[in-house]
Structure 1
Amino acid sequence: MFAPDELTDDGFLGGRLRVLQPRRGYRAATDPVLLAAAVPAEPGQSVLELGCGVGVASLCLAARVPGLRLAGLELQPAYAALARENAARNGVALEVVEGDLARMPAPLRASFDHVIANPPYYPAGGGTGAADPGRERAMREATPLGLWIGAGIRRLAPRGLLSLIFGADRLPDALAALDARMGSTVVLPLQARAGREAKRVILQSRKGGKGTFRLLPPFVLHEGDRHDGDRESFTPPAAQILRGGGVFPFRLI
């Protein structure tokens, strides 16, 4: 577990959420906030987050949608403990279960209206590993992306929605992992700035969906063509999500 001096107390959604994170380990940034903003959950529905880390995506979703039944699965016990603490300090009912999605723990072998995930960004092998073991495990794939998606599909109720955010270079792998049970798939590219290559995407797919595949226009996060000093320079729609706790100005599915 983390000692108090190994943690930072960070604000999300313009300070509406206070989240403890490891100073040197994996630290949530914009991805889980953007993921939560894409999920069209409604009060009373159930949501499972695979690889919940310290709980940021689930907490952001709870801040926007009251009355959700939230569960999270986390492999690393220290991060699972932080997720429980963060849920308690923000007044959110989040059941966090420690375990491996490849061997789904019994308490989570149920059906959910939504399954969400921010899978590890880097594929297994190659590259320089992170110095911190927790960050390395969170950022580098040990369980193949296809198994993440397969685990999510199995946990979805009929007509349930799978929502993922990941690196754009993994999109072919993700689409290949969506089997015949899934349909109405939508991909939203995320651009740091207009005209730049999209480095991340959000993918949504519905269990039992019959719609055709759709590729949406890119969503731009920052104004201008370069970083301007210390200003965040978020576009108004991005600021409404990242600081205001809002949703995308369009519905993906």
Structure 2
Amino acid sequence: MTALRQDGFLGGRLALWQPVAGYRAGIDAVLLAAATPARAGQGVLELGCGAGVASLCLAARVPGLSLTGVELQPAYAALAGRNAAETGLPLEVVTADLTALPPGVKARSYDHVIMNPPYFRRDCGSAAPDPGRETAMGEATPLADWVAVAARRLRPGGRLIAIQRAERLPELLCAAAAVFGAIELLPLAPRPGRAAKLVLLAARKGRQGPFRLHPPLVLHEGAAHLGDGDSYTAELTDILRHGVALSWPG
């Protein structure tokens, strides 16, 4: 792996190692953690945990969780383990392909499965020059397989929380509807009046309920970026800087 640096998350509450070049988690991972309604004593599995940012942000917000992260790339799995050790947060990291999970993971059922699958189909674009970034961002395992693995690892009534690009929503919904119920979608719009680029999906295993499409969560104030600073809305600032949970509408 290339050189590393520590990045601050949750307003500097967490300092986590990530590669200077290659795949680097950003606000997507923080939003995924914030959208997960976990409670103390519950078990959470993250598929494709990378350097552990989403799981560790969740652990920082909700003490008393049992967290397991599965990561395909050994170098990123090692970073996740290092980040967990240095922060003192309870993340067990397993280096494995999610389609060939080790017996210790397959023997367990979880209350929540969280995931940020690769955004880009490689039959629709070019590969990233950095191998680590390419593996993290370029889909090798079909999106439907990610959803199916999540369903198998969840206990009845357990929740899947996923974040994905809006253009992949038809695939994600099709896969989720085959094995989950009570599906909710929260579009993430960059600015007021702009089309959502990302979506958060929540679904329950073995539960029935109407499909719910929520109004977009707007990330930035104003119609355009006009100066220095990130211009996040007050709600996003609370989530990103202060570790506040994301409130699903309704």
- The question of a shared fold, defined as TM-score above 0.5 by the shorter chain, is answered with yes
Aligned equivalents of 1:186, 1:16: Cα separation in 2: 30
Q: Which amino acid aligns with 1:235?
A: T
Aligned mates of 1:104, 1:127 — CA distance in 2: 29
Cα offsets for 1:66-86 (capped at 9, x unmatched): 000000000000000000000
Change beyond 3 A, Cα 1:216–1:22: same
Q: Which whole-Å CA distance do the structure 1 matches of 2:212 and 2:126 have between them?
A: 35
Matched, 1:28 2:25: yes
Which secondary structure state, in structure 2, belongs to the residue aligned with residue 176 of structure 1?
A: helix
Letter in 1 for 2:7: D
* Percentage of matched positions with identical amino acids: 57
Pairwise CA distance, 1:25: 0.9
Aligned to 2:14: 17
Please report the TM-score for the alignment, with normalisation by the length of structure 2: 0.97
Matched length:
249
Q: Which residue of 2 aligns with 1:164?
A: 162
Task: State the 1:101 CA deviation.
Answer: 0.8
Structure 1 segment 117-196 matched on structure 2, within 5 A: 117-196=115-194
Cα distance in 2, alignment partners of residues 64 and 83 from structure 1: 17
* Cα-Cα RMSD: 1.2
Contact 1:204 1:252 in 2 (8 A): no
Residue 56 of structure 1 corresponds to which residue in structure 2? 53
**CA distance in 1: counterparts of 2:249 and 2:94, whole angstroms:** 29
Deviations, residues 117-159 of structure 1 (Å, cap 9, x unaligned): 0000101223222110100110010000000000000000010
Structure 1 runs of 4+ aligned residues shifted over 6 Å read none
In the aligned structure 2, how far is the partner of 1:126 from the partner of 1:160?
33
Matches within 5 A, 1:25-104: 25-104=22-101
The 8 Å contact of residues 148 and 179 in structure 2, kept in 1 or not, is answered as no
Distance, in Å, in 2 between the alignment partners of 1:179 and 1:172 is: 11
Which runs of 5 or more structure 1 residues have no equivalent in the other structure? none
Which amino acid is the alignment partner of residue 20 of structure 2? R
Amino acid at match of 1:41: A
Question: Per the alignment, in what secondary structure is the counterpart of residue 181 of structure 2?
Answer: strand
Q: TM-score, normalised by structure 1?
A: 0.96
